[in-house]
Amino acid sequence: MATVNTNSTILHIISGDLWAGAEVQAYTLLKHLQPQVQLHVVLMNEGELANRLRALNITVTLLPETQLSAFAVLKKLVILIKELKPDVIHTHRQKENILGGIANVIAFPFAPNRPKSVRTTHGAPEFKVSGKQKLQVWLDSFVGKYLQQAVIAVSDDLAQKLSATFPVDHIHVVHNGVDAIALAASSTAADFKIALPEHKHIGIIGRIEPVKRVDIFIEMAALLLKQAVTSQPLFFHIIGDGRLRSDMEALVASFDSLGGAEYFRFHGHRNDMASCIASLDVIVMCSDHEGTPMTALEALALGTPLIAHDVGGLHELLFEYPEFLVQEHSPSAYAQCLGRYLTSEIPVPALSEKYKAETNAAEVLALYRDLVCGTPL
C-alpha cells in the first residue's frame, strides 16, 4: 500500500508575494516537513519566502505572476506536475488553489493516477466580492469541492464557516504552529526598547488594511494617554504597512493636544519581527476577524502578553485567559482591558502545545498519509 515517507514528493503552490501570516506559516510547516518528505515549492513571486526556502535547500520553481498570464502559469504547472508526479499537491490561497487543482486534473485526467490535492485556508475573506471576482470565488469553491480531497482550516471557527461551502468530511482543523526555539534564538532587544527603556511599549502588528482596525488601536491609545492609567510613560507602535497608512498617520496627527507623533511610531515593514514582539510590553490585536494569526502565536511563544478581539482563532488561543479577550469591539473596551492589565499582576498567557510547529507538521503529515493511503478521513 502506498504511504508517505522520505521518498514521497510533496508539491506546495504558494503566492509568496508578501512575508505575512500565511507565508510565515507555510515556511514554518515546510521547514519541519523537510526531513520527512521530498519537497518542491512553486512560488508566484520572488521575495522573502523564496529566499528563506532556498536557504533551507528546498527546491523552488518561480512562476512569476507579474510576467506570466494565468494561462501561462497553468501550462507550466501542468508540465511540472507531469514531471514530478507528486504524491500530494498542497495549495495556499485562492488563485493557487484554482491553478493547482485544474493543472492536476489536466496533467492526470484519470483520477486513480492523480496526485492527491489539499488546500490550507488561512483565514476568512476580508472583503465582499463583485464582478469578475465572483467567478474566481466560484472556481475556487468548485475546485475545493470536486478537485481537491481535503481542506485545512486553521481554527475551529474557520472550519465552521467553511462547512457552508465545502463538504464537512473534506474539512480538517490543523492549528497554525510556531517554531518557538528558532523564534527565541532570533530575538534581541529592539531599538525602541533600548532607546526608551523606561516606557511601556504597546504595539499592533500587521498589514494596515481595513480588517485590522488600526483606527481602533490609535483611538484606544488616545484614551489611555488622556487617562494616564500608569505612572510609566506609554509609547505606541504600529508595525507593518498597507493602503491605510497615510490615513492612520493623519489620525495620529489629529491628536494635537496629546502631542501626536510624540507618543506614536509608524515602523513600516521590519525584518526583526521576533525582536519587536519580544520587546513590546503588550500586543493588541483588534481585527474585525482573524483565523489564527502567526503574530499572536509568536507573542505567546516569546512571553509577550496579547490582548485580542474575541473572534475566530483568537477565541480558541486565549480561551483559558478570558481577561485578555475583548468582546465589545470599541476603543474604550480595549483601553479598559489594557488598563486593567497594566495596573495589575495578571499572569501572561502561555502557548498551548497544539500551536507548536512540531504538532502542526505532524498533523499535516498524518493528513497526507491518510489521503495517499486512501483510509477514511
| 362 and 302, same domain (yes or no) | no
3-class DSSP state of 307:
strand
Query: Residue 32: inside a domain, yes or no?
Result: yes
Report CA-CA distances (Å) from 376 to 169, 170, 373: 9, 11, 9
CATH number of the domain within which 71 lies: 3.40.50.2000
* Within-domain flag for 1: no
How many CA atoms are closer than 13 Å to the CA of 7, on its beta-carbon side? 2
Triad 48, 49, 54: Cα angle to 5°? 100
Low-confidence spans in the chain with pLDDT less than 50: 1, 375-377
In the chain, how many domains are there?
A: 2
Q: What's the CA gap between 174 and 151, in Å, rounded? A: 10
Whether the CA torsion 357, 359, 362, 365 is positive or negative: it is negative
Say whether both 349 and 360 belong to one domain. no
pTM, whole model, 2 decimals? 0.85
33 and 142 part of one domain: yes
CB 199 within 8 A of CB 237: no
Give yes or no: residues 144 and 187 share one domain. Answer: no
Strand 116-121 versus strand 59-62 pairing type: unpaired
**pLDDT value, residue 376:** 40
Could you give the CA distance from residue 372 to residue 368 in angstroms, rounded to a whole number? 6
The predicted pLDDT at position 375 comes to: 47
Residue 6 confidence (pLDDT): 82
Ramachandran class of 342: left when φ > 0, alpha when ψ lies in -120 to 50, beta otherwise: alpha
- Rounded CA separation 230/303 (Å): 21
**Per-residue buried b or exposed e for 88-122, using 16+ beta carbons within 10 Å of the residue's own CB:** bbbbbbbbbbbbbbbbbbebbeeeeebbbbbbbbb
In a domain, 90, yes or no: yes
pLDDT of 260: 60
Parent domain of 258? 181-353
Whether residue 144 lies inside any domain: the answer is yes
* Grid coordinates belonging to 59: 527546491
| Partners of residue 151 on adjacent β-strands | 119, 171
* Chain segment 331-366, per-residue pLDDT in tens: 999 999 999 999 988 888 999 999 999 999 999 999
The pLDDT assigned to 377 comes to: 35
Assigned domain for 2 exists: no
Residues 34 and 152 in one domain: yes
